[in-house]
Amino acid sequence: MRLLYTDLMIRALIFDFDGVILDTETPDYQTWQDIFQSHGVVLERSLWQSFIGGSSAVFDAPQHLEELTGTHVDREAIRRQRRQCYLDLIDASAVLPGVVDYITESKSLGLKLGLASSSSVDWVEGHLARRRLLGHFDSIKTRDHVVNVKPDPELFLASLEQLGVRPDEALVIEDSANGVAAAKQAGLYCVLVPNPMTKDLHIHNADIRLNTLSDMPLPTLLKKILDPSAPLK
């Protein structure tokens, strides 16, 4: 089997983090939506969705709340209140289906394992460590390591460099339009596994779309890359 995957030239698997390993996207939106609703306004889901997978600095939620209500709000108090609720939900959440299997299978197949996230290194490594997954990764690249985050390809290019593989030797697992755009600009094969916040979006350019990673074992996915005519099962 190792000869098969050597011939295939897939030598590395690169995960996104938020929405791929943990569903941090749904509680992130829901806790902000709760804040907005407590002020009598609505945080539009479509607006929130447009920023998923990119920089958290692009959208200022408290400012948007002030614009909708026409009043001043205590930004720091709101952020503290919302943050604790958010962290409690994340700490109680399980790793998404199929993730652990893919990590285990990638190691058994001799693939290098990377992670490329627009979040901070403390956020990513902290959650991975608490779930005993941190030590599996050969490379972790976050917003702390690059100038530009997704949809810019810089995170993936940095991952490729540290992993020592070419773009055609790696496949990426993403959940958002920004992530897919970054992966394809980097020249990577991209598997889209949307989370509950992105599943209703029309995300283009991914090579394969799965509902969850548990829908298709990694060896089957690699065979699909080798033979695109192979059935998705």
Catalytic residue among 16, 23, 28, 152: 16
Residue 54 to residue 148: CA distance in whole angstroms: 10
DSSP-derived secondary structure for 87-129: HHHHHTPPPPTTHHHHHHHHHHTT-EEEEE-SS-HHHHHHHHH
Rg of the Cα atoms in the chain: 18
Q: Residues 213, 192: contact at Cβ < 8 Å? A: no
DSSP-derived secondary structure for 159-196: HHHHHT--GGGEEEEE-SHHHHHHHHHTT-EEEE---T
16 belongs to the catalytic site = yes
Pick from 215, 228, 12, 54: nearest CA to 148:
54
Which two tokens mark 152?
């810019």
Catalytic residue among 18, 23, 28, 175: 18
Residue 140 to residue 60: CA distance in whole angstroms: 27
Q: Residues 19, 177: contact at Cβ < 8 Å? A: no
Pick from 66, 90, 62, 89: nearest CA to 77:
62
Q: Residues 31, 82: contact at Cβ < 8 Å? A: yes
Strand 189-192 versus strand 170-174 pairing type: parallel
Residues forming the active site: 16, 18
